[in-house]
Each structure stands twice: as C-alpha cells, then as structure tokens.
Amino acid sequence: MAGKSKPKPEQVGRASELRELLARHNRHYYELDEPLIPDAEYDRLFRELLALESEFPELVASDSPTRRVGGAVSGGFAEVVHGMPMLSLDNAFSDQDVLDFDRRVRERLGTDVVVYCAEPKLDGVAISLVYENGRLLVAATRGDGAIGEDVTHNVRTIASVPLELRGSGLPRRIEVRGEVYMPRQGFLELNRRAQKSGEKAFVNPRNAAAGSLRQLDPAIAARRPLEMYAYGIGQASGGELPDRHSATLQRLREWGLRTSPEAALVSGAEGCLVYYRVLEARRDALPFDIDGVVYKVDDYGCQQQLGFVARAPRWAIAHKFPAEEQLSQVEAIDVQVGRTGAMTPVARLTPVFVGGVTVSNATLHNFAELKRKDVRIGDTVTVRRAGDVIPEIVSVVLARRPPGAAEVAVPAVCPVCGSEVVQAEGQVIVRCSGGLVCPAQRKQALRHFASRRAMDISGLGDQLVEQLVDSGMVKTAADLYCLDQMHLSALERMGDRSAARLIQAIDASRKTTLPRFLYALGIPEVGDATSRLLAREFGSLDKLAAASEEELQAVPDIGPVMAAGIAAFFRQRDNQQVIADLRKAGVGWDESAETARGSQPLRGRSFVLTGTLAGMSRDEAKARIESLGGKVTGSVSSRTSYVVCGEDPGSKLARATALGVQVLDEQGFLALLEQQA
C-alpha cells in the first residue's frame, strides 16, 4: 500500500518533529552520556517515525535517525574510520515479532529450520578493537557507525581486554567487536563514592560505562570498574576464520578474549523463545545489566545470503525484555503514615506498564529524597521497576515541567490524626507523634499483625482493617480476639459466611509460635529473621521482655540501636498492656518447642527443584528445605513458592516464568536457607 496515498500535513509535521526529537535524544544519549528519557520512550518515538516513513516513503529524509546509527563524533578524540560499518540491530518486542523474524529468515533461505546463536544483549557501549600481529592497535567507539572515536588510551586500562592475543591461527589484522559494560556492583560503588564527594551520580551502568570511556585522562578510566565481552568479528585479513558465529566465539575465547558464557545454539523460533524465558528469569541474578537477547543466524554463508537493510542486518534481531524504565506523570503526592509513624511521600502516577507490571504509585522514601529529586505535582518522571524491587522515580524530565508545578512540603501536622510532626536530630525520617492514637499507625500495625508471616489471619484484608478501625471496633490487636460474628456481620460488604470464616481464622491464630508472635508485635527494626533469632536465644517471651540492653547486645547480629529499640518497646506501658491482653485472649505457643525444634520458617512454602546444583545433591536440597518446614513437590503450579534452578534446567523453569513463580538460582537458594538458619 506504501506510497499510494499522500501524507496529511500533520503527518509531515509529526515526522519532522520526530526527527528533531530523536536527533536531540541521540545527542544526549551518545554524546553527552546523559539521556533525558528512558530507552522505551526513545524506542516508541523511533517506531512512530519508522511507521510513518514506511507508510509514506517520501517522508524519509537522508539524515533521518532511522537511517543512521547512534550519535555524531564529538571533539576531543581522534576519529577512527571503521573498516566495516558498525551497524545496529532491529528490535523484537513480542514473541510474534520473533516468529515473524524467523519466518522471514526461513523464507529468504528456503530452509525449514534455522540454527541461531542466542546471546544476552549487554547494556553497555559498543566497542571495536583492532589487533595487528596480535597486538591491540586501536580501540574505537561506534560513533555514527561509519566513524568512531579513538578511546584506545582508556580501553587499555580494562583488565578483560587483552593487550596481546595468544594462541594459533590469528589473522594478521583483525577487528574484534564487543561491548564494554560496568557490572552493577561496581556501578553502585562508583555512585556511592560520587555522592559522598558531592559529584554527580550516573543514571545507570550504561551511562557510567560510556562516560568512563569518554574520559580524556586514562587514569580516570582506570579507576572505573569496566569490563568487556566480545561478540563478533568485523574486518579481518591475513588468516582463516571459522564459518559459523558460534565457532568464532570459541576462537575469540582461545585468543584470550572474554565472551558471554550464556551464549548458546538454539533451533528455530521455539528455541529462541525458550532461551529468552530462561535468561529473563536469570536477569536479576546476572552481575550486569542486559536489556534483552540477541539471536544471530549461526551460519556465515546464510548470513551473507540474508544481507542487510538500512542500518541493521537481516540475520540478527534483538529481542528486548520489558523495559524497566518508562515515563509517567505525577498526579499527586500523598503522605503515607507507616506503622511506626514514619511519614513517606508517595507519588500517585498515571498508570504505566513497567518492568512487567502496571505501576501507579512510587515511594519517594522520605522528604529529603523528595527534595533531592525535586519531584513536583504535574511533573513527567522516569519510573523504574527492576525485578522485585519497589518502583521508584529515577528523575524528572525538567523540559516537560508545566509552569507553576507545585512543590510538596513536610506537613506541619500528621495529615491523618493531626498530631504534631517530629524529626529526631540528625535523622531524615519525619514522624507522626500520635502513636496508637493515629488511625493510620493503628491500621498499619493491625495489617502487620495479621500478615502471613506474623499471625497469618487470612481474610483480614486492608479494607476490613479500614472498616474495623474507622468504626472504632478495633483499637489494638487484642481487640481482634473480642470480635463476634454478630458485630462483624453488621459491617458493610460482610456476609454471615465471611464473618464466620474470619472468626475462625482469628481463633486459629491463637495457637502460634513465639517467633511469629514477636514478629507480629511490630517491634521497630525487628523482622522475621530477628524474631526467630530472639526466640531461639531467649526461649521465652518473659525472658526476652526482661532482658537488658546489654543482654540483648550480647546476641550476635543485634547492635546497640536494635537492642535499645527492643528494650524500649517492652518498657512501654501500652505495649505491655497489649501483650497482656493478647495472652489473656488465649494467644499462646509452645515455648519448649522454640529451642528444641526451631520455628519451621519455611512452613507453608513449596519448592520445585530443576537442573543440577553444583554444591549439593537433590536429596540434600530436599532434606534442607524439609528441615526448615518447607515442602518439595514435583511440578510447578501457581501455588509453588519457589523454583530452584541449577545447571541445565528443564521445562519447569519456562513454566515457572510463564506463571510468574519466583525462580532462585543456586546462590539465591543458599541465601534463602542461610536467612532462615
């Protein structure tokens, strides 16, 4: 259909606007190492322009960002003309895109099944390394694809880039291509140091890597934790090269270069998609950021047959993971009052799909953070959600701030109960001083008390807690045990049956364990691991309540702040009263069990094992899970708590990811066991 109709004036205008926008973002991304918008937003603009151009080819300008790669070459560095252009990759955002890619490849090659080499798509900076007679001659960035910047002085400082290649069969001159990246740990440390010394922090590891490579002084780059993986060969002369990509990777390794250990051969689109799921599940466990997977036709003969279009090869595609950063708008900034009175500003956002879920709230942690990030109502912000981490606002897009965008100040009184707001000296946390007078604190305390790892009262959801507190029926946790069915049934949306079930659940929670009870009390800073520790060390509630700060501090892992907090909690009259009331209401546990048997911290959680663990046999893993109260089952369902994934996992892993079940690698599994011990 292309070219049949003429573009409307607004489409012509939009195309030119998009070209300008993309050029500006390219400059911020590639040349200034300071992107203004998330990658996903860039991709969206890019695709919008691509769609317009493919519908109306007359809109394609020779300098369109869709025809070229990356940024321009800036001053300060010598230029390097690439022997072969450094191209980009087309993107696939869905399974369907991958199926379409594979179909196009098969059709062009006239074959039934294609073997692909699948690799992680590292989120770093593309690099070209020219070796002559085995010695590193020049290292250059991609630049605009044709001409890059000479960053040899900096690349020489990267330990994983060999200055000399070893082994046999080396071409006289060879250009190795790969990605320079900064591992996440190194990035966090770098930013911590930068913040301490008042320097500007980097937005993400990729920008940190790019910024480090573009230092004029190699001494600075040398202090940056950069690493490199090689993923291919550019131009080569004076030697024989393998005829398949996977063999090239093998050869690069033999010559002393690092290549991605995750690279694997897969068969057809099906194989690609399984690889994608497996890697996606491991994404957070990898020590560096990846933003997707690259599939490359393995056979070079086939690659040649397929050739290139505009800026990308037809024989490869990047299958992107759901973006971890997106733009959204701040509709309001509310103040939430937590269980201990801590007041947290929370941004209410226009719902946005990010990191695989829809996000409509992002915590700003505290008022100091709100001020530092300068988030205002009406702002356009970059929202990030990586792995299971709570969504956060990374930064504000200042260029899109509406005039008069309102700042939010620390409230003078608690917005929920009107009590005075206090801030301890030297602390960032601002608190409501209302204690259990404050309905917000009361509600949070009750929610915590009833939560799964505490008293595990199912059916006592957020809404019900609201109703119970707002109606005045429940003030403290002990009041829960005085509720009767008649009063409960009178609540809105509460039928007789649910009331009866709730009464039953409350009743069942009377028989508990000491660690659960301690955790349920909501002692500041005492989580479930510490509760178990305290139960084990002191054996009884009375002994713990009577313990001095010194005695508490004698427990390993209990520091002075926590010891003081625990002692103060048990000294407080209101707390003593609630504990006494709870015990009077029949809440109790078998104290002899605490020291003898431990507290079965994995009770109620089910595990599925797949693949081979390096450090223990399956029986051993099963025994350890069961000794902590957990259960091991053979197949994955939505009720599975964890899938433990070793080497060569089976289809259980794909099923786990499809169902959204949490996947633990060996390290994660060991850490979980350790936590419970």
121 binds ligand IVH (CB under 6 A): yes
The residues, any chain, with a CB within 8 Å of residue 141's CB and separated by 6 or more, are: 125, 126, 127, 128, 148, 149, 151, 213, 214
Q: What is the pattern of x (binds ligand IVH, CB under 6 A) and - over residues 75-114?
A: ------------xxx-------------------------
- Nearer to ligand IVH by Cβ, of 30 and 517: the residue is 30
Q: What is the pattern of x (binds ligand IVH, CB under 6 A) and - over residues 170-189?
A: ---------x----------
Beta strand extents in 135-172 (DSSP E only) = 135-141, 147-149
Choices 44-52, 115-123, 158-166, 342-350; region in contact with ligand IVH by CB under 6 A? 115-123
Cβ atoms within 10 A of the Cβ of 149, count?
A: 22
- Nearer to ligand IVH by Cβ, of 202 and 231: the residue is 231
- Nearer to ligand IVH by Cβ, of 307 and 351: the residue is 307
Q: Which of 119, 144, 227, 299 contacts ligand IVH by CB under 6 A?
A: 119
Site for ligand IVH in 306-335 (CB under 6 A): 313, 316
Buried b (16+ CB within 10 A) or exposed e, 185-221: ebbeebbeeeeeeeeeebbbbbbbbbbbbbbeeeeeb
Query: Do 483 and 506 contact (CB within 8 A), yes or no?
Result: yes
646 binds ligand IVH (CB under 6 A): no
CA 18 to chain centre: 30
Give the total residue count for the chain.
677
Output the six-digit token pair for 234. Answer: 């550019």
Q: Which of 15, 40, 92, 126 contacts ligand IVH by CB under 6 A?
A: 126
Choices 26-34, 35-43, 119-127, 575-583; region in contact with ligand IVH by CB under 6 A? 119-127
Q: At what angle do helices 514-521 and 528-538 cross, to 10 degrees?
A: 130
- Nearer to ligand IVH by Cβ, of 122 and 656: the residue is 122
- Nearer to ligand IVH by Cβ, of 183 and 588: the residue is 183
Quote the CA–CA distance of 518 and 530 in Å, as a whole number.
Answer: 9
- Residue 163, class by beta-carbon neighbours within 10 Å (0-12 exposed, 13-18 middle, 19+ buried)? exposed
- Angle (CA) 463 466 468, round 5°: 110
List the alpha helices (DSSP H) in 307-456.
Answer: 367-373, 439-450
CA 401 to chain centre: 27
Site for ligand IVH in 504-563 (CB under 6 A): none
As measured in angstroms, the least distance from the Cβ of 552 to ligand IVH is: 51
Choices 45-53, 118-126, 276-284, 323-331; region in contact with ligand IVH by CB under 6 A? 118-126
- Nearer to ligand IVH by Cβ, of 283 and 631: the residue is 283
Residue number, nearest CB to ligand IVH: 126
Give catalytic status of residue 121 as yes or no: yes
Output the six-digit token pair for 12. Answer: 């012509």
As measured in angstroms, the least distance from the Cβ of 89 to ligand IVH is: 4
Quote the CA–CA distance of 536 and 520 in Å, as a whole number.
Answer: 16
Quote the CA–CA distance of 33 and 242 in Å, as a whole number.
Answer: 36
As measured in angstroms, the least distance from the Cβ of 131 to ligand IVH is: 18
Quote the CA–CA distance of 187 and 211 in Å, as a whole number.
Answer: 12
- Nearer to ligand IVH by Cβ, of 259 and 640: the residue is 259
Quote the CA–CA distance of 299 and 620 in Å, as a whole number.
Answer: 43
Beta strands 227-237 and 173-181, pairing class: antiparallel
Which residue of the set 4, 121, 371, 584 is catalytic? 121
Q: Which of 65, 143, 211, 232 contacts ligand IVH by CB under 6 A?
A: 232
- Nearer to ligand IVH by Cβ, of 231 and 669: the residue is 231
Query: Do 447 and 439 contact (CB within 8 A), yes or no?
Result: no
As measured in angstroms, the least distance from the Cβ of 70 to ligand IVH is: 8
Query: Do 293 and 279 contact (CB within 8 A), yes or no?
Result: yes
Choices 117-125, 162-170, 592-600, 640-648; region in contact with ligand IVH by CB under 6 A? 117-125
As measured in angstroms, the least distance from the Cβ of 290 to ligand IVH is: 8
Q: Which of 158, 294, 333, 613 contacts ligand IVH by CB under 6 A?
A: 294
Choices 116-124, 184-192, 473-481, 595-603; region in contact with ligand IVH by CB under 6 A? 116-124
- Residue 431, class by beta-carbon neighbours within 10 Å (0-12 exposed, 13-18 middle, 19+ buried)? buried
CA 319 to chain centre: 18
The site for ligand IVH, by CB under 6 A, has a size of: 13
129 binds ligand IVH (CB under 6 A): no
Nearest Cα to Cα of residue 432 among 395, 423, 529: 423
As measured in angstroms, the least distance from the Cβ of 245 to ligand IVH is: 9
- Binding residues for ligand IVH, rule: CB under 6 A, are 87-89, 119, 121-122, 126, 179, 231-232, 294, 313, 316
Active site residues: 121
